[in-house]
Structure 1
Amino acid sequence: MKVEKANVLGGVVVAFLTAVFGQYWFLFVGFLVLSVGDYVTGWIKAKYWKHNESSAIGAKGIVKKVFYWLVIVIAFFISYCFIQMGDLLGINLSFVQLFGWFTLASYIINEIRSIIENLIEMGCNVPKFLSTGLDITQKLLDAKTNTNESDGETNG
């Protein structure tokens, strides 16, 4: 009986996430998990390794992560609006849907890089190919979007 309830609950959660975020809902959930993971690893690093835990810095980090979500919403909203306007004008602007996906991909890479940096600073042995692979992925993404945002701050 408990297994049935868990299956029903899981189905409801997945159906809800699919309705809100579409078939790629797991990317948004993954970004949320990575954001929390980055915050937690940053907090642990500050408290136990650097001994400079600060509630003001922690609050600033949370606010920053909330604004990442706002930027993602804006990117997808812009995409949706331009696609709808293109349909009205008879112009195929479906390619602008990539605005949202490139934004989400950039933030996912940023969170993973920040977690890896936190772990390295805490003395964890992180395979070099992870950070190198993420650098290459960010450069490829930047090349596709003709931007160079990866030069900015990666700690979150």
Structure 2
Amino acid sequence: MNNVNTAKVIVTGIMAFLSSILGVLYIPVLLMVACNIIDYATGLMAAKYRTDGKISSYKSIRGIQKKVTMWLLVVVGAIIDQLLKYASGALGYDLHITFLVACFVAIWIICNELISILENMIDIGVSIPKFLMPIVKNIKRYTENAVNIDENEEDDNNGNI
């Protein structure tokens, strides 16, 4: 029983530490990681129902690399948030928001993962409620529209600043 209490203390300590560092980004990051794990697992289960029906270590490693890269997108969003906060402070404005861009990125990734999970389940043969996919796609669309930046705009340096 002592090992269980020790494990609880360690897990609680780690979660409290992450919560104190991430703040408002804590829940989206936890949901994103959970969705990454579920998507990976359902992807493995659905692989045998797809065209080639094989699971390869190359595809598996590639999938893990994509998940880790998704986490890095949230880090990029957090860096942008910090740059905006610094620049606004230099101009004399105090932004009371933290991790806004990073939260939008995390929510967008969660929606993509949920869509992938649902597609994996369909490939496996699970019947999903007809309203589920449209709900997730609408949340994703709402997240994209909340930022409302024209994707076709490029600067003179081919997208480089």
The TM-score, its normalising length taken from structure 2, stands at 0.80
1:137 Cα deviation from its structure 2 partner = 1.1
Structure 1 stretches of at least 4 aligned residues deviating more than 3 Å after TM superposition: 1-7, 91-97
CA distance in 1, matches of 2:21, 2:98: 20
Superposition CA RMSD, Å: 2.3
Residue in structure 2 matched with residue 65 of structure 1 by the alignment: 67
CA distance in 2, matches of 1:92, 1:29: 28
CA distance in 1, matches of 2:112, 2:80: 22
**Deviation digits for residues 2-41 of structure 1 (CA, Å, limit 9, x no counterpart):** 4654553343132122123225523212211110111111
CA distance in 2, matches of 1:111, 1:44: 15
Equivalent pairs: percent with the same residue? 30
Equivalent residue pairs, number: 148
> Out of 98, 103, 106, which is 1:104 matched to?
106
* Structure 1: 5+ residue stretches without partners: 150-156
More helix by share: 1
* Structure 2: 5+ residue stretches without partners: 152-161
Mapping of residues 25-40 of structure 1, within 5 Å: 25-40=26-41
The TM-score, its normalising length taken from structure 1, stands at 0.82
Q: Is residue 135 from structure 1 mapped to residue 137 from structure 2 by the alignment?
A: yes
CA distance in 1, matches of 2:149, 2:135: 19
Decide whether the 8 Å contact of 1:75 with 1:103 is kept in 2: yes
Residue in structure 1 matched with residue 21 of structure 2 by the alignment: 20
**Deviation digits for residues 55-109 of structure 1 (CA, Å, limit 9, x no counterpart):** 2121111111111111110111111122012112213555684211111110011
Partner SS for 2:131: helix
CA distance in 2, matches of 1:7, 1:68: 29
